Chains A and B, each alone.
Chain A
Amino acid sequence: DTAVSQTPKYLVTQMGNDKSIKCEQNLGHDTMYWYKQDSKKFLKIMFSYNNKELIINETVPNRFSPKSPDKAHLNLHINSLELGDSAVYFCASQGATGGYTFGSGTRLTVV
């Protein structure tokens, strides 16, 4: 039973399209994150949500819109996809002890 699950695992799409990545955690954690791992392999924070409320938005273009319908879900919608959006996107949740549990990642390729 996967603790943090992301779908899809792979996503190939054309420039200009709109796409969504879904994330669900069954750990009962209050805080969830989206991280982006770019071609230089940096894992960079994009968004942080606590109990459905946006806490952090790290200067991400507003083409990226996270949505948290409940504290177990944090989805990422991306409008007007650009080549530079190609990356691996990781969802994570954080428990009371501070530890993070990551999903397996979504590899987005924009062509």
Chain B
Amino acid sequence: GAGVSQTPSNKVTEKGKYVELRCDPISGHTALYWYRQSLGQGPEFLIYFQGTGAADDSGLPNDRFFAVRPEGSVSTLKIQRTERGDSAVYLCASSLAGGPTGELFFGEGSRLTVL
């Protein structure tokens, strides 16, 4: 596809379970970002990849959250021992080179509900 693709679009899980959210960026985009958006809030930065490496993971809230991008394309956000407070829409974005003035292209998000 031409845009950023995120799967699943909706995920309902129980407290304590493990969850993986997948992001397929625009082909050729080297920079990839994960954000979390709670109801009524703006997107909150989680982590940024340049190629395969995490260039900035300062937004990850705790060690239950982890993200990988092993081949510099698809990324997976992993959440262990989910809590009700993790419920949110998780957004992925990519940009061509990751510079400070570059446009971020966002996917439609993965809505996570933890019961």
**Do A and B make up one complex?**
no
Which residues on A are within 8 Å of B, measured CB to CB?
A: none
Which residues on B are within 8 Å of A, measured CB to CB?
A: none
